[in-house]
A and B are shown apart, each in its own frame.
Chain A
Amino acid sequence: DQQVKQNSPSLSVQEGRISILNCDYTNSMFDYFLWYKKYPAEGPTFLISISSIKDKNEDGRFTVFLNKSAKHLSLHIVPSQPGDSAVYFCAASAGGTDSWGKFQFGAGTQVVVTP
C-alpha cells in the first residue's frame, strides 16, 4: 500500500529555470514531511522539511509547499543548476510511537537539468 506517491518518475528542466516536484499522500495522520536528494552510489541527502503546522518552508533555492486539504506537497528549486540532477524522494511520517524512526518514501523523481 503506497501511502506516498510521486507520480512523475522523471523531470527535465533547463538550467536557470524552476523545477517543481510533486508528492501526494493518502494517510491523513502524516504530520512531518521531508525531501531528500540522491546521487547514484550514495545515500539520500536531506534537503528540507516541513511540519503540518506550516504550509511553506524555505531554505535557499529550495521551497517546500504543503497543502493539507489536498494531501499534496511540492518542492520548488529556483534556479535549477546542473548539480541538481539527481533522484528526489519525498518522505512522510505520522505522529505516535508506531512511527518512531519510520518514514514512508515515495518512489522518487529523476531530475535532469540541461544546459
Chain B
Amino acid sequence: KAGVTQTPRYLIKTRGQQVTLSCSPISGHRSVSWYQQTPGQGLQFLFEYFSETQRNKGNFPGRFSGRQFSNSRSEMNVSTLELGDSALYLCASSWTGGTSYEQFFGPGTRLTVL
C-alpha cells in the first residue's frame, strides 16, 4: 500500500506570493491533518479535514487555508507569504482522525520564502 505523498517536495517563493501544497493520503484514509515544522517551534498543528470538511484548526492566521476533495486528497494554501512561513509542511493521514488512531506522515514540502 502506498504511503502518504506530498508535492512538491521543495519550493522557493518570494514574500507576498502565494503557494499551494498538495497531499495524497494512504488509500482508505479519510482524515488529513497538516502541520508546520520549524526549528524553533517543532511541529505545530494547522488544521484537519475529514470528508471534505474542516473539523479542527490550530492557531494560525487566516492566510493559511486548506481544502479536501472527495477522493480525500488535500491541499493547503498560504497567501501573502512572509519570511517566517519558511518551514517544512507535513501532512498526515489516518482512518478517521479520532484520538486513538495513529497518523502516518508524508515526507513533507520544504518551503523557503525569500
Tell me if B90 and A103 are in contact (CB < 8 A).
Answer: no
Q: How far is the CB of B69 from chain A (nearest CB, A)?
A: 16
User: Which parts of A19-61 form the interface with B (CB within 8 Å)?
Assistant: 31-32, 34, 36, 41-46, 49, 51
Say whether A99 faces chain B, with CB atoms less than 8 Å apart: yes
Say whether B63 faces chain A, with CB atoms less than 8 Å apart: no
Q: How far is the CB of B79 from chain A (nearest CB, A)?
A: 23
- What range describes how many residues of A lie at the interface? 20 to 34
Tell me if A101 and B43 are in contact (CB < 8 A).
Answer: no
**A31: chain B residues within 8 A (beta carbon):** 99
Tell me if B105 and A45 are in contact (CB < 8 A).
Answer: yes
Q: How far is the CB of B84 from chain A (nearest CB, A)?
A: 18
**B104: chain A residues within 8 A (beta carbon):** 46
Count residues of chain B with CB under 8 A from any CB of chain A.
30
Tell me if B50 and A46 are in contact (CB < 8 A).
Answer: no
CA distance A102 to B94 in the complex (A): 11
Tell me if B108 and A43 are in contact (CB < 8 A).
Answer: yes
Q: A43-B106, A43-B108, A89-B43 are in contact. Are A101 and B100 (CB under 8 A)?
A: no
Tell me if A102 and B45 are in contact (CB < 8 A).
Answer: yes
Chain B contact surface mostly: strand
Tell me if B48 and A102 are in contact (CB < 8 A).
Answer: yes
**A42: chain B residues within 8 A (beta carbon):** 107-108
Say whether B4 faces chain A, with CB atoms less than 8 Å apart: yes
Tell me if B99 and A93 are in contact (CB < 8 A).
Answer: yes
CA distance A68 to B108 in the complex (A): 33
Out of B42, B94, B106, name the residue touching A106 (CB < 8 Å).
Answer: B42
Tell me if B102 and A46 are in contact (CB < 8 A).
Answer: yes
B contacts, CB < 8 Å to A: 4, 6, 31-33, 35, 42-45, 48-50, 55-56, 58, 90, 92, 94, 97-100, 102-108
A to B CB contacts below 8 Å, 9 in the list? A43-B92, A44-B105, A46-B105, A98-B56, A101-B97, A103-B45, A104-B45, A107-B42, A108-B42
A contacts, CB < 8 Å to B: 31-32, 34, 36, 41-46, 49, 51, 89, 91, 93-108
